[in-house]
Structure formats: structure tokens, C-alpha cells
Amino acid sequence: MLRYALLRIFGAIPTLLLVIALAFLMVHAAPGGPFDAERVLPPEIEENIARAYHLDESLPQQFIRYLGGLVRGDFGPSYRYRDYSVSELIGNALPVSMQLGVLAMLLAIVAGVAAGLTAALSKNSFIDRLVTGIAMTGISVPVFVVAPVMVLVFAVYLQWLPASWTGGTSISRLILPVVALALPQIAYIARLTRASMIGVLSSDYVRTARSQGLRTISIIRYHALKPAMLPLLSYMGPAIAGILTGSVVVEEIFGIPGIGQFFIRGALNRDYTLVLGIVIFYATLLILLNLVVDLLYGILDPRIRGR
């Protein structure tokens, strides 16, 4: 197991380095600069600003300097939020985004697994077709369409919930963004659970358990649930990172002061270090979550560890 874990960890390092290099090159290839929106400054002042932020150095020099800062956990200063570093901005916004993402993921797992199991146990029935149809709709309709419709219905017409983060208490203001963020994941998890459970229920050892007179609930609990959840476990790593990155749209729509808002503002303001820091943070999160999933998969399925 230790060898399996070390192989996965060392395999993640080149991937992260490649992401950092590509993100650095793409951000610096974008037209314009972080101070282009400022008033026209004398050339000597522009040179001083560029020197202060090391923008007068060549691109390889800037990249090496940036990598050195990352090794120390320093994402650099923000070009727009002059009194804050990128690490401070991410640290202040992370609890809000994490709260939103964790609640949405919990809702997605509970509702998606329940819907998928219900559909699998009612295969080819009206309930199965209903769950499948709703899941396909949830996958097809993007979050930036669902969220405004939910605001229009529940906040404007019915006036049950606040339309923005500042319009209600801590619980009520979370309901709409959490549900909007969780809906696509509910649909994916429901379809994945349904397909996996149907495959497991048709396996030989489940038929053997049924022939021995075991009840359906006992078969699912002791024989079918664990192997049926293995494909879902593989999906969880990208899903959790995706639900956090998907919060970029949701946070902007509902005015939530999370990492997503900083990412959009940084892109609009050409704040190189802020955009780079958030991209690298999300990439690191995705790699770590996939690593955790690989290790859990190896624990649950010993055959994986031997590959």
C-alpha cells in the first residue's frame, strides 16, 4: 500500500508543475497589463512600478522567481488589492467557498444516491423513467441558467428566500446558492448510482444471495452497496473540485464574497498574481482530491494496489 501511495504522490508532482507553467504562460500572454487602466504616468514612474513588481525581468526570470515564492507558500502581492497578498485574499475567501461547496456536495451525495438507488430498484418503471428524465435535465441545463430562474421564482415572485448574500440571515441566504450548485451534481450522481447498482444487482453473487432467501434491503446493505459505490468514489474527486470551481458562477450571481468573485475581478483587472494564485489553488485541490480518491480506491479494492 505504501508503494502504491508513493507512486500516486510522485506522479502528481509533474502534473502540478505543468499546470503552473501553462497557467503562468497563458496569463502573461493575455493582452494588456495590470496597470493599463491607471491614469497615464510618466515613463520613469512606470519603470519604477515595473521594477517594484519585477515586471521588467524576462519571462523565464519571472517564472523562476514565482516558483521560488510558491515553494515558500507565497503567491505574491495582488496588483489591485494593494494592501493584501494573494495568499491573504484566498485565505479570507476560502471559508465562504468551502462552506458553500461542502453543503452542496453533501446535498448532492444524499439526494443523488437516494434517487439513483430508487431508480435502480424500480428498473424500467415509471419512477425509473422519471428519475432518469429529471437527471438528464439537470445535466443539460447549466448553473448560470438555473440560478437566475431560482432567484426569479423563489426570491422575486414568491419572496420566500433572499436573492443575494446580503439579503438574509446566514441560513436563508445559503439555500438558493447551495441548491443551484448541487443540482447538476445530483443529476450526475443519480445516473452513476443507478447504472452501477443495476450492474451489481445482476451479478452472480447477488443472485446467489437472493436464492438463499435474503431480503432486498439486506442484499443491498451487505452485498451490493459497497461495490456499487466504487464508481461513485472515482467520480467524487473531480466532482468536489468541480463543485468548488463551479461556485465561481454561483458566487457572482448571488454576490457571495468567495474565491469565485476574486477570480472574476482578477481576470477583469488583469491582476496576474491573483488569477494565477486561484488557478494554482484549484489545480492543487483537484490533484489532491484525485490522489485521496486513488488511495481510498486502493483500500476498498485490493486489486488496484497490485497494478
Burial-class residue 58 by CB neighbours within 10 Å (0-12, 13-18, 19+): exposed
What is the rounded CA–CA span in Å between residue 25 and residue 213?
63
pLDDT of residue 126: 86
pTM: 0.77
Domain extent at residue 138: 93-257
Provide the grid cell at 204: 452472480
Q: Is residue 34 part of a domain?
A: no
Choose among 106, 24, 36: nearest CA to 277: 24
Is 120 a member of any domain? Answer: yes
* pLDDT by residue, tens only, the chain of 307 residues: 567 667 777 777 888 888 888 888 887 777 666 665 555 555 665 666 666 666 667 778 888 888 888 888 788 888 777 778 888 888 888 888 888 888 888 998 999 888 888 888 888 888 888 888 888 888 888 888 888 888 888 888 888 888 887 766 678 888 888 898 888 888 888 888 888 888 887 777 777 777 777 777 777 776 777 777 777 877 777 777 767 666 778 888 888 888 888 888 887 777 878 888 888 888 888 788 777 777 776 666 655 555 5
Residue 23: all three cell numbers together? 497557467
The Cβ-side half-sphere exposure at 126, using a 13 Å CA radius, reads: 0
Please indicate, yes or no, if residue 221 is contained in any of the structural domains. Answer: yes
Domain for residue 57, yes or no? no
Q: Judge contact between 17 and 63, C-beta under 8 A.
A: no
The CATH number linked to 109 is 1.10.3720.10
Domain count, the chain: 1
**Assigned domain for 101 exists:** yes
Residue 165 forms part of a structural domain:
yes
Within a domain: 65: no
